[in-house]
Structure 1
Amino acid sequence: MDLRRLNYFVVLAEELHFRRAAERLHIAQPGLSQQIKVLEREVGATLLERSTGGVTLTQAGQVLLDEGTSLLQEVNRVTERVRAAAAGRTGLLRIVHSRSLAEGLPDELVRTFKHNHPDAEIAVESAWTSRNVAMLRSGEADAAFLRLPLVGSDDLQVLALGATELVVALPASHPLTARRTLHFADLRGAEILSWPREQAPGYYDQIQLTVWGDEPPTPVATEPDPEHLLAAVAQGVGLCIMDSQRAHKLRPRGVVLRRFTRPALTGDFGVAWNPNRRSPLLDAFEAHCRAHMAQVP
């Protein structure tokens, strides 16, 4: 059944008048009459009773009106969904973020994108940077917020988004808590806790080089996530450097936070995607992130 002819019939059935229906459809009245006759031959039934005063529906015509209206509505719905998917308004977008980036700009970008794309499904999870990179390569994730710089990731596209302040988490009994702010040199000789280097090697090495130069310490212990790092600090095992927002949110009793001054210590971050695994929705998310950066002074 030709959907165009079905639409002609539905309009005619609503108007019950050939001239008015033809005007609504912006076609000539004889052409409309001819198309209805073709439709009747297609379905093998008389759909209309014609008279000088207009037309009335036969029983078969009423059935076709009811079913045809539903069919056209479904076709319109499917068409709109296809167009929305092609325009990046629907679909599934899988976003991963490094655990140290659970708050701040990444969260804001995801929230505003969800608001602007209410028909899209946005799945968010967290992992460390190297795992996020692996997920981009395997297709398990579409976009990833991660710590920079990346190591050996020329196959990915990266948009730098900014930097977050890093602070020192100290046991409450540590002598350095007597100072309001710290310098890099204050950490020399201290017992250091850290996350495993393989979680974010570029980020790890950058912090080590910035704070300790050519003589980086060997951590007395490593923990895979911020919660366990801070718990070890609270137990007096050592001190650690971590993201300020995350540290303030998770800080347990027995931990004191101190900032670096002259200079402050920051950690870069960005969003990355695999150029070989594109989708209209990912294109829209990339445009969303770039539009935000274009507004940053």
Structure 2
Amino acid sequence: MELRQMRYFVGVAEELHFGRAAERLYISTPTLSQQIKQLEREVGTTLLIRHSRGVELTPAGQVFLARARETIQAAGLALKDTRRAAGLDEPVLRLGLLNGVPGWLPAALEQLAADRYPSSTVTLAAGTTVDQVRMLSSGEIDLGLVRTPLTLPVATTSEHLADEELGVLLAATHPLAERTELTLDDLAGLELIWIQRAAAPEFYDDALKRLGDQIRLSDISMSHSQLHSALRVRRGAISLGSCRAATPDVVWRPITGRPLVAKYAAIWRTDSHNPVLRSMTVSPGLTAVRQQVVAD
């Protein structure tokens, strides 16, 4: 069994389609199918069920997917740590891209990396606040972006970077859409569809506490990218977000009297030896990014 075959399997398992996986992996579909069949012969059981719409994982395939991801990650860390010990560390910063973060924030961090370490490159790994903490702890990223408040793990530090006002998102046909701003009293009894608590528990709880108990929390939750679709279906409901989320059919209105703020921070391991990260955290470094973002 080869790491290459594991990577092929993970690609198919994530895409659930041989054609899309082959395109992502830059190989032909017949070659990919052949490699998966060879892998299944070696494992001794079927890992994928093929049908006209794509594929699905068998119970054995689900177990193999989890273990394959762990093996690929371990192999990558072994190579990275060995190269670092030999003085061959490449100037790469693995940046965690927080779901829903303002686009100018990762762009500012990428520019800071380029200014402080001109020969470096930046790679991105997307995820929620909880994902960022997990990836940082497991060594998958060097610098993460999160929403605060957040309790940090041991040997992890943070730098506040930016604030963004949160307001109400609602369908353009909603009766409250005619107003230019809203109060908490206006929102009393309305259904609030928002992100899953598991994505950022402390940020989630803090925001709801600030809203008070007048709003009725929905029995459904969505990712940032799905909130618009939810509001188009439940036109009497509302959500929370920044003015960036406004579209012709979903409007944004500020909350007066008790504004909500999303606070973004960078987090990193204090024991990291990444040269690009170290160059970025030397004063003023990330502080300069915060000043630039606030000024913008």
Range class of TM-score, shorter chain: 0.5 to 0.7
d(CA) in 1 for partners of 2:291, 2:180: 36
- What amino acid is the match of 1:221? I
User: Identical aligned pairs, as a percentage?
Assistant: 25
Residue 223 in structure 1 maps to residue 222 in structure 2: yes
Q: Is the contact between residue 151 and residue 201 of structure 1 (CA under 8 Å) also seen in structure 2?
A: no
Structure 1: tracts of 5 or more residues without a match: 1-81
Give 1:218 deviation, angstroms: 2.7
Give the distance between the partners of 2:173 and 2:290, measured in 1 at CA.
42
CA distance change for structure 1 residues 244 and 294 in 2, over 3 Å: closer, same or farther?
closer
* Structure 1 contact 168–242 (Cα < 8 Å) conserved: yes
Task: Report the 3-state secondary structure (helix = DSSP H, G, I; strand = E; otherwise coil) of the residue aligned with 1:93.
Answer: strand
**Contact 1:167–1:260 (CA<8 Å) still a contact in 2?**
yes
Q: Which secondary structure state, in structure 2, belongs to the residue aligned with residue 147 of structure 1?
A: strand
**8 Å contact kept, 2:190–2:215:** no
Residue of structure 2 in register with 1:109 after alignment: 109
Q: How many residues align?
A: 206
Cross-structure match for 1:290? 287
Q: Which amino acid aligns with 1:126?
A: A
Structure 2 unpaired stretches of 5+: 1-83
C-alpha separation between the residues in 1 aligned to 2:154 and 2:184? 32
- CA separation of 1:116/1:279 partners in 2, compared to 1, >3 Å: closer, same or farther? closer
Asked if 1:172 corresponds to 2:167, the answer is: no
> Deviation string for 1:214-238 (max 9, x for gaps)?
x6633232112x2211111122352
Which residue in 1 is equivalent to 2:243? 244
> What does residue 100 of structure 2 align with?
100
Q: Counterpart of 2:274? A: 279
Secondary structure of the 2:165 match is strand
For the structure 1 residues 105 and 236, does the alpha-carbon distance in structure 2 shift closer, same or farther, using more than 3 Å as the test? same
Larger radius of gyration: 1
Q: Which residue of 1 aligns with 2:16?
A: none
Q: Which amino acid aligns with 2:189?
A: G
1:157 maps onto 2:152 in alignment = no
Specify the alignment match of 2:200 in structure 1: 200
With the length of structure 1 as denominator, give the TM-score of the two structures: 0.62
> Hey, what's the Cα distance between the residues in 2 that align with 1:103 and 1:281?
21
SS at match of 1:182: coil
Quote the residue 1:190 is aligned against.
190
Task: Tell me by how many angstroms 1:279 deviates.
Answer: 2.0
CA change 1:111–1:152 in 2 (3 A) is: closer
The AA in structure 1 aligned to 2:197 is: R
The residue matched to 2:191 in structure 1 has which SS?
A: coil
Residue 292 of structure 1, CA deviation: 3.4
| RMSD of Structure 2 on Structure 1 (CA) | 2.6
8 Å contact 1:165–1:264 — kept in the other structure?
yes
Partners of 1:152 and 1:120 lie apart in 2 by 27
Mean Cα deviation higher: 176-185 or 195-204: 176-185
Structure 2 length-normalised TM? 0.62
